[in-house]
Amino acid sequence: MTLAAVNCGIRVRFCFRPDHAIGALEHDAEKCEAVSDNIMLNLLESITFMILDRADPKSS
């Protein structure tokens, strides 16, 4: 649920431009979805590695 909300926010932030109409955003939703999913996966991967790195006492 939270992931979907964040994903939606990223889609709007990265795909909406002031010079585009809302309709253009909806029209490009599939492309935006792919972009936001990729960003989300990269973000989650980075966060996971940071958490694992901090949890491992050998890494410090």
| Secondary-structure percent of the chain, ordered helix, strand, coil, rounded to 5 | 85, 0, 15
Q: Count CB neighbours of 15 within 10 A.
A: 17
Q: Is the pTM of this model over 0.75?
A: no
Domain ranges of the chain: 2-59
Tens-place pLDDT, residues 1-53: 344 444 444 444 444 445 444 444 454 555 555 555 566 667 777 777 777 77
pLDDT at residue 48, rounded to an integer: 73
pLDDT at residue 56, rounded to an integer: 65
Tens-place pLDDT, residues 45-60: 777 777 777 766 665 5
